[in-house]
């Protein structure tokens, strides 16, 4: 069994998505949906 590798996101991407959650009150799921990262 192999371990899944986590996606490698740039620091800029991480900052932008964190700001959606913190500054604009988005939920984690709402912030990830535009980037097709939401769990299915």
- Residue-wise pLDDT for 1-40, tens only, equals 677 777 788 899 888 888 888 998 888 788 777 766 655 5
pLDDT of residue 38: 54
**Model pTM score:** 0.53
pLDDT of residue 40: 53
CB 18 within 8 A of CB 24: no
- Residue-wise pLDDT for 12-23, tens only, equals 988 888 888 899
CB 21 within 8 A of CB 31: yes
Q: How many CA atoms lie within 13 A of 37 on its CB side?
A: 15
Q: Given CA atoms 33, 35, 36, 38 in this order, what sign does their dihedral have?
A: negative
């Amino acid at each position: 069994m192999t371990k899944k590798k986590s996606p490698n996101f740039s620091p800029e991407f991480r900052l932008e998505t964190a700001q959606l959650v913190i500054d604009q009150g988005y939920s984690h799921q709402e912030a990830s949906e535009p980037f097709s990262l939401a769990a299915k």
